[in-house]
Structure 1
Amino acid sequence: MKVLLTTEGTYPFHQGGVSTWCDILINKLEPVDYVVYAILSNPFVTQKFKLPKGASLYTVPLWGTEEPSEHLSTPFPHIYLMKKQTGLNEIKEHFIPLFQELVYEIIAEVKDPRRFANILLGLYHFFQTYEYKESFKSEIVWDTYKKIILTAAADQSSGLSQPDVYGLVQSLGWLYRFFNIVNTPIPKVSVSHSSAAAFCGIPCVLSKLLNQTPYLLTEHGIYLREQYLSLSNRGYSSFLSKFLIRMVHSITSLNYTFADQVSPVCQYNMRWETEFGVAKKRIDVIYNGVDKSVFVEAPPRPPGPPVIAMIARIDPIKDIQTFMKAARIVLDKQPDAKFIVYGSVSVQAYYEECLALKEQLKMGESFIFAGHATQMTAAYHSGDIIVLSSISEAFPYSVVEAMMTGKPVVATDVGGIKEALGDTGVLVEPRNPEALAEGIMTYVTNPELRAEVGREGRERALSYFTLDRVLELHLKSYIKLATRAIERKPAPQVKVTPREKQRHVMEKAFSLAALGFNREAIAQYREALKLLPGSSSVPYILTEIAGLYNKLGEYDRAMVELARCEAYVGLIADREIS
């Protein structure tokens, strides 16, 4: 089985939970050959994961290229010819109508995903013949875009504020960059599988429209919610913020509408999906799982100062600063405690803020940023307590991995963390360093409780969150989708009477005649005669047949059918008299 797995800013170029999940599927699910379709920020990032034999890779960089076709394998002479034939007339006649519809859909407050899908399909077909950059960079495109946006902004009911020139250029630039996805070929596969309800879902939707490919959507987090959360840190104008969130809303609605199966990694995410109109019968939760042979139970740590570890990237969404403030509170009560953060720097500016806060809190060597851990199991084993202080999560691997190694967990009550921990850890509200510190102190001063909760957490992880279970559920989903074995009840058998059959055939004949398929219509009318040769419809049918022969210029045959009609009417009349 061949599966198209689409990613965005994750596998195989970046570390993290989604990348871990992708790597597990691709390396462990042996009956499947994966085609990885990776959307990148730029083409210069280093590949972090090696794909196994049998897997292939498409990359689509959104920024960092001069030509939008640089990532394609299309020969230069072919691209050159496409440029030459992309003239003003072609742009006006074929591209501008699609472009207008695209902009209208993106800025609309109420979304129409099926219309949006047809626009994307039209653009995909257009760029099979015409060149992407020549089309988008045309002056008429700028004039068209400016007119649409300024007209919409002038209408107060649109909710769009008046943009400045920078806002117009930037927002059009987003369209140019993001929708280069439709400029990329779609491979033929058995199933398409998107790792998020994001732009990486576009190839899956196109594959469904082009090849009727079933579409599986996995939701690790809620993409639209995450974009809302991150907007406050981006410093965009009111217009750009509104434009971006509406564009993301269009994309998420598109994914939710066209996915045959939506598989969130926790029940928590279902609330968002059902709110966006995903029917519960299309939702099938598949929890993340880990390899119990890798994340083995930790041996007892030797006596010494308590060590509190966090395994998370340095990113505002992980709220490392709340962890640091909680650490300061704990250190005031337990001065020999040690705090370690294992994780690569995702946002450099945020990391620098964390370093400044460390100095401000005067924690010295008591709080360490250890960088990315190459030996993940050893990182968990190094701590007595594992902490996660995120403000947003789906179903984080770090919690399940900690549980599998037998470590007690203190985490913020966000996303699906409660579903993972159950009663085997401490949950606190996010952005509350005092509550987080109190949760940590619960275990710092009680080694027996740490050991007991750690054992309970491991038992829970072995019951619900193993790698074998994850692989089994994904393979079953692929097979179900690929074979179209979506649990549908067979339609009840309805007995159709000869008269109903005749009416159906006559309607078909009438439609064929209306389209000018006269001989085909005659054949259908004759079929209607065979179904009920003695019905009251016979004279009408014979008259219609005669008329069709007349249109064909076969006047003798038309006269024969009229004679049959008169004879039939006469026969009926004689019967009625007798």
Structure 2
Amino acid sequence: MSGDAGLWCDRLVRGLAQHEFDLYALSRSRQQEDAGWVPLPPQVGRVRTAPLWTAEGDAVPYGRRARRRFTECYGELVAAVCAGSDAVFDASSRAASPHLADRFGNALYGLAELARDQGGLVGALRSDTAVRTLERACRAPGALRTAREARVPDLLTVAAHLERALRPLSLDWYGDDGLGAADLCHATAGGPAALTGLLARHFCEVPLLVTEYGVQLRSHYLALGPDAAAPAVRALLAAFHGLLAAEVYRRAAILTPGNAHARRWQERCGAERARIRTVHPGMEASRFAEVGESPDHADPDTLVWVGRVEPAKDLVSLLHAFAEIRKEEPRARLRIVGAPAGPEGEAYLGHCRVLAAQLFPDEAEGVHAVGDNPVSFEEIGDPEAPTLPDAYADSAVVVLSSLVEGFPITLVEAMFCGRATVSTDVGAVVEAIGGTGLVVPPRNPRALAEACVALLRDPERRERLGAAARARALELFTVEQNIAAFHCIYLEIVSHCPVRRVVLDAAGEPLPFATPPEAHVPGRWTGPTAPALPRGVPRWAAGGPVRATPLATPEGAR
């Protein structure tokens, strides 16, 4: 797994050394497959991977009866999608319609059972039968207007997307030698990444824990904008992902959003509040300790922005705001520290460089370097910012100008460093800073400039806000609090969901009373002096570790 989610998962597994883990990972690209493996801690028993970026050679020919069964199940699934293409959620509670949810869920598990019996679904999902079934559902009397407008290219696009999203149904992970042997499944994302956990619950009654630090349904909505696909495609895929999210949320034993912003999304998709536990991401505070304990070393005239360079970060507004700041504070400097995110980010970075040269024409020469120029563009590893803590060290104020944000990792890093912040009111920003920084509306350069000038002119206020921010981050956002929270959640789940599989002794004979009820009652029989359990008895039944199975996101487990 890559990115922030991969780092969190690695820290969680390493921090919960008292538990046993099996890792099941879904990779998204060949590049992730070629990236190699990371060293694993001893509590990881095995790793199984499945590439979602290819399904060549997995087509299984179906007989007449299997084809009829596929048509029935797939027809029910796409009929639910078409019926909900304009209104997946009802207007009052925003929860998925119970009728649609049941119809979708039953069809989904019917396809999973067919895949288990026949050896896979790839060939059937790619067949002309699948496209014709989708077309009939779109043209059926119960389908809503947007679905009826779908044309042949739209149908082919939707069918191809459904085939990719449903590939986890064809995996051979769901027996007693796989996910069925786990005490719980921990999905590190919702949406298609949680399908494997749903099937483990369906086939083997393994409880499912779903963690979402970025809501997959929201990410889908943002990625599939008006310029990305036709209206019918957007509506049908939104309906599919909405129904899938609702199914994941209502089947999970516990949901752990990373912030209140993600929690509100889950509740609007029908998740019960009683099963939601907000667990903030855990971050390594020690790497920022030296900077956080030395706030006096900051340059009092320097603003710093840190992050991935992409349009959603709205550096254009930041540059316009900085032009206003320079009118009030001529000594101010702006450091933009971050690498571009893909080709789009490269183009956006070039646009920002050109804009900086236009806004500061008298100082445009060498605008890429750090020196007398008011704006610098840097990356971590450059001489001016060799490490991430160094990027924050010289800053008087850390700025976030995003239009869209999930949990603001860079703000929390700035808080660990004891820096005052100015940020836009998006995502979970207000929840993260909790009154320890200034917040302004997005797309408002004037408000952003005024807030920055106010802090640049008031060093005592900067110091107070920075100290409060550091104290808040150390209390709420450390790795230690994250690990402790999940340890308690693991034990809570298994205490309510005892293992139902047959336990065998060393000779292979059943042990019907291997997990007695009193094993869940605190006492001497659950302490360290408890007798050794026979082979196959779940260790948590005697106060030992839970065997958890993290299910990686589609970013993979690399």
1:280 matched to which residue of 2? 273
SS in 1 for 2:403: coil
Residue 266 of structure 1: aligned partner: 259
Residue 173 of structure 1 deviates from its aligned partner by: 0.6
1:224 maps to amino acid: L
The residue aligned with 2:129 is 140
Partner of 2:166: 179
Q: Would the alpha carbon gap of residues 302 and 395 (structure 1) be closer, same or farther in structure 2, given more than 3 Å must change?
A: closer
| Whole-angstrom distance in 2 between the partners of 1:350 and 1:220 | 23
The Cα offsets for residues 275-320 of structure 1, whole Å up to 9 and x where unpaired, read as 3322221111112232332221152455757332223222333333
Which residue is 1:530 aligned to? none
Give the structure 2 partner of residue 216 of structure 1.
209
Q: 1:321, 1:354 within 8 Å by CA — same for their partners in 2?
A: no
The one-letter code matched in structure 2 to 1:21 is: W
Q: Distance in 2 between matches of 1:354 and 1:406?
A: 28
1:462-510 CA-partner distances (Å, limit 9, x unpaired): 2333322111111100111122279xxxxxxxxxxxxxxxxxxxxxxxx
Q: 1:382 to 1:164 in 2, by over 3 A?
A: farther
Aligned sequence identity (%): 25
Q: CA deviation at 1:24?
A: 2.0
The structural deviation recorded for 1:425 is 0.6
The alignment's C-alpha RMSD in Å is: 2.8
Preserved contact between residue 161 and residue 238 of structure 1 (Cα < 8 Å): no
Following the alignment from structure 1 to structure 2, what is the Cα–Cα distance between the partners of residues 36 and 108?
37
Q: Is 2:420 the counterpart of 1:408?
A: yes
Residue 263 to residue 131, structure 1, CA distance change in 2 (3 Å): closer
Shift of 1:454: 1.0
Partner of 1:519: none
Which 5+ residue runs of structure 2 have no aligned equivalent? 89-95, 361-366, 369-373, 499-558
- Quote the Cα distance in structure 2 between the aligned partners of 1:286 and 1:450: 29
Q: Which residue of 1 aligns with 2:80?
A: 105
1:62 and 2:57 aligned: no
**Structure 1 counterpart of 2:236:** 243
Rounded to whole Å, the distance in 2 between the matches of 1:270 and 1:131 is: 34
Which amino acid letter does the alignment assign opposite residue 108 of structure 1?
Answer: A
- Provide the rounded CA distance (Å) in 2 between the counterparts of 1:156 and 1:206: 28
| Structure 1 pair 104–68 and aligned structure 2 pair: CA distance change class (3 A) | farther
Gap change, CA 1:350 and 1:284, over 3 Å in 2: same
Name the structure 2 match of 1:371: 379
Q: CA deviation at 1:48?
A: 8.4
Which one is further off, 224-233 or 446-455? 224-233
**Displacement of 1:427:** 0.8
Do the aligned partners of 2:308 and 2:339 also contact (CA within 8 Å) in 1? yes
Q: Which residue of 1 aligns with 2:466?
A: 454
SS of corresponding position for 2:438: strand
**2:207 partner letter:** P
Call closer, same or farther: CA 1:465–1:360 in 2, change over 3 Å: closer
State how far apart, in whole Å, the 2-side matches of 1:301 and 1:32 are.
Answer: 43
> Are residues 275 and 146 of structure 1, via their aligned partners in 2, closer, same or farther at CA, if it must alter by over 3 Å?
closer
User: Alignment partner of 1:483: what SS?
Assistant: helix
Q: Is the 8 A contact 1:91 1:135 kept in 2?
A: no
Distance (Å, rounded) in 1 between the aligned partners of 2:57 and 2:255? 31
Provide Cα deviations, 1:133-158, integer angstroms capped at 9, x if missing partner. Answer: 33233333333333333x14x87744
How far apart are the structure 2 equivalents of 1:290 and 1:481?
A: 25
Task: Pick closer, same or farther for the CA change 1:147–1:88 going to 2, 3 Å.
Answer: farther
Change (3 A) 1:230 1:93: closer
Q: Which residue matches 1:73? A: none
The answer (yes or no) to whether the contact 1:95–1:135 under 8 Å persists in 2 is yes
Residues matched between the structures, number: 456
Residue 113 of structure 1 contacts residue 257 of structure 1 at CA under 8 Å; is this kept in 2?
no
1:291 matched residue in structure 2 = 284
How far apart are the structure 2 equivalents of 1:424 and 1:250?
Answer: 38
Distance in structure 2 (CA, Å) of the matches to 1:101 and 1:219: 28
Secondary structure of residue in 1 paired with 2:147 = coil
For 2:286, what is the secondary structure of its paired residue?
coil
Shift of 1:336: 4.1
**TM-score normalised by the chain length of structure 2:** 0.74
SS in 2 for 1:159: helix
Helix, strand or coil at the partner of 1:216: strand
User: 1:410 Cα shift?
Assistant: 1.2
Answer whether contact 1:194 1:217 (CA < 8 A) is retained: yes
Whether 1:331 and 2:343 are equivalent positions in the alignment is no
Counterpart residue number, 1:316: 311
1:94 and 2:69 matched: yes
Partner of 2:188: 195
Q: Which structure dedicates a bigger proportion of its chain to helix?
A: 1
Shift of the 258–28 alpha-carbon distance from structure 1 to 2, 3 Å rule, reads: same
